[in-house]
Structure 1
Amino acid sequence: MALNTVITLYFLIIAGGVVRSTGAGMGCPDWPRCFGSWVPPTEASQLPANYKENYGAKLKGEVEFNPVKTWIEYVNRLLGAFTGIMIFLTLLASIPFLKTGDKQIFFFCLAAFLLVGFQGWLGAKVVSFELLPIVVTLHMLLAIVIVFVLLYLLTWSRFSAYTLFKTNESRKVLNTIGLVVMGLSLFQILLGTQVREAMDEVIVKLGYSSRARWISELGVKFYIHRSFSTIVFGFNIFWINKILKTEGRMTLPGRIAIACLFIMLAEIGTGLIMAYLGVPPFAQPLHLTFAILLIGLQFVGWLVINGNKYLRYNNKKIGEHQMLTSK
């Protein structure tokens, strides 16, 4: 359940990126309905006669109905609702842990369920505040928190036995470097949201027909974001190299480190495509998704390396593991 929920959540993040890249954030100007209906229209003739007067202000002057943007936003909302259902099912699956020594698993699931409910409320505020930048950024940060909670549950259920009894002094160094790497990655994501907010202002001024000019109009925020990426890259390479030397390439931490390397290269590649090829629509959601994938894998790698401390097992499981190890 945790694995399927994480996959669903990443699809939701991709959908959110598509919404931003296509300018479909106000494709449905009301919430939870869309143009007053539970199923959005596919053509202007299905809209109320006075829809331009009712929704013109929220649509920021784009009063001509655009069915593509409307359905992009609507699919994003459907994915959000489906993600909520998946997290609720994960919560139900965690109830038996209340009777074991792993009660924290239920409470993590409960936290994820409550957070996704708050995220839905915040999504409504994104619409009601007409894409106010600070609300959009909070919406993004909360998505990362939910990803972390679910990845903890996934790591606990699949990988915690790997590090249960391993001890290595060098892992203290990996732990510290990992925290720094995750902090830098999170800060870079926040810088990226600032660039995206600046881009929203540029889009309003130039329109979607002038994509090739967007980057040149972004100003200093873009250059800070681009320059800081070299620092993030350097620390990631150092951490990945340290993991490979300490743990080996074929171990679980080693495979996670290699995956981080490839995702980071893909993240840099989509950034270069946006910077030098006129911000093509497909690159924006991919750039965002790779960023969340990278910080998520960093978190999983950090948990696995520090499994003794953060992935707690009850005494029965520890005994079973000791028996298997002795055999």
Structure 2
Amino acid sequence: MTNLKSHIEPKANRRFRRLALNTIIVLYLLIVAGGVVRSTGSGMGCPDWPRCFGRWVPPTELSELPADYKEVYRGKLKGEVIFNPAKTWTEYVNRLIGAFTGVMIFLLLLASLPFLKRGPRKIFYYSLSAFLLVGFQGWLGAKVVSFELAPVVVTLHMLLAIVIVFLVLYLFTWARFFGQSDINNVKDKAGLSGWGVAAMSLSLVQILLGTQVRETMDVTIAALGYDQRALWIGSLGTEFYIHRSFSILLVLINGLWIYKVLQVEQAGSIIRKFAFACAGVLGIELLTGISMAYLGVPALAQPSHLVLAIILIGLQYMVWLLNSKRYLSTAPQSGAPILVNE
């Protein structure tokens, strides 16, 4: 393998890096919004798409809707529609953030155009992939509405969000860290890449198990109502206990992996800092899970639990990526990042 130095000007690289970072922030805001939508039961707050109750700006009170609005939207939802302004605007804000995310991804794609001519071209292709996937994600979001929150569609929606986050994290990591002095000469020591893959895989499985729990909880909420939060956990099925028990394995593998990273990496290294971040996020994630299990599912704990899970798997990916010898240069140089031919 030979080292290749990008011919992109440092200013253009900095601009791309800042835009990638801002896009990551917006992506996580979108995940937060999606978590709030799920935890408040606002997924059908807007019964149609892309408009909301037939309007680009949704109503704020019942008087703004036609008298027969239930009849109009019953056919689309195969059930009665009851207007709830809080749920309607929660879903609408989620859609607005989704649209803004699409704009940010498009701007990132434009910023990647110089790489198509001067290399490395894969930066452009990864940016293009993220843009296309966001478009598909928007279409899938419409299907989430039309299929009335069908479990398979909701799970696919979540998986695709994680893929998009990984793509943009890769772009930011390349622009910010590759070829920098604090990670040069980093090798895949002590099998850390394999441990990292195991940790990410377990986190992904746990997220998917969590979506199953959430789907079961939706049924429970429909039966008991939102004013019976204290009874929700006790009414869940085996999905909840599998999810809870699996967390023990998740903590053990992540703890061992993080320990190995801290043993290998030098004090002050960026990989070591991200490993500490993984440990911190994992700890807070456990606390939110415990609070839901034993404190009657606090409203803020639900979206926090989901967002922390996505943050954790993102940090795991960063540690794995920075540690992997497949991507890192072993020759310290200044200027633009250095890549390794693949």
Specify the TM-score bucket, using the shorter chain as the normaliser.
Answer: over 0.9
1:23 corresponds to 2:10: no
CA drift at 1:249: 3.7
Are the aligned partners of 1:26 and 1:58 in contact in 2 as well (CA < 8 Å)? Answer: no
* Structure 2 counterpart of 1:310, from 305, 320, 327: 327
**1:170 aligned partner:** 189
> What one-letter code is carried by the residue in structure 2 that aligns with 1:108?
Y
1:97 corresponds to 2:115: yes
Name which of structure 1's ranges 224-233 and 196-205 shifts more when overlaid on structure 2: 196-205
Gaps of 5+ in 1: 323-327
**1:75 aligned partner:** 93
1:187 corresponds to 2:205: yes
CA drift at 1:241: 0.7
**1:129 aligned partner:** 147
| Cα distance in 2 between the residues matched to 1:277 and 1:146 | 33
* Structure 2 counterpart of 1:273, from 288, 291, 312: 291
| Cα distance in 2 between the residues matched to 1:235 and 1:282 | 27
| 1:60–1:216 CA distance, 2 compared to 1 (3 A) | farther
Gaps of 5+ in 2: 1-18, 338-342
| 1:217–1:97 CA distance, 2 compared to 1 (3 A) | same
Are the aligned partners of 1:267 and 1:290 in contact in 2 as well (CA < 8 Å)? Answer: yes
CA drift at 1:56: 3.4
CA drift at 1:60: 6.9
> What one-letter code is carried by the residue in structure 1 that aligns with 2:135?
G
Q: Which has the higher contact order (CA 8 A, sep 6+)?
A: 2
* Structure 2 counterpart of 1:230, from 241, 248, 253: 248
**2:222 aligned partner:** 204
| 1:321–1:40 CA distance, 2 compared to 1 (3 A) | closer
> What one-letter code is carried by the residue in structure 2 that aligns with 1:142?
L
Are the aligned partners of 2:186 and 2:323 in contact in 1 as well (CA < 8 Å)? Answer: no
**1:325 aligned partner:** none
**2:271 aligned partner:** 253
- Deviation sequence 1:239-293 (CA, Å, 0-9, x none): 1111111003421111000000010011001101111111111111000000000
1:49 corresponds to 2:57: no
1:4 corresponds to 2:22: yes
Are the aligned partners of 2:70 and 2:80 in contact in 1 as well (CA < 8 Å)? Answer: no
Q: Identity over the aligned pairs, expressed in percent? A: 62
Are the aligned partners of 1:18 and 1:285 in contact in 2 as well (CA < 8 Å)? Answer: yes
Are the aligned partners of 1:102 and 1:312 in contact in 2 as well (CA < 8 Å)? Answer: no
TM-score, length basis structure 1: 0.93
Are the aligned partners of 1:214 and 1:278 in contact in 2 as well (CA < 8 Å)? Answer: yes
1:84 corresponds to 2:109: no
| 1:100–1:127 CA distance, 2 compared to 1 (3 A) | same
> What one-letter code is carried by the residue in structure 1 that aligns with 2:131?
F
| 1:143–1:321 CA distance, 2 compared to 1 (3 A) | closer
| Cα distance in 2 between the residues matched to 1:53 and 1:279 | 34
Query: 2:178 is paired with a residue of what secondary structure?
Result: helix
* Structure 2 counterpart of 1:290, from 308, 319, 337: 308
1:110 corresponds to 2:128: yes
RMSD: 2.0
CA drift at 1:63: 3.1
CA drift at 1:58: 5.3
- Deviation sequence 1:196-218 (CA, Å, 0-9, x none): 01111111111111111111111
| Cα distance in 2 between the residues matched to 1:231 and 1:2 | 33
1:145 corresponds to 2:166: no
| Cα distance in 2 between the residues matched to 1:81 and 1:136 | 18
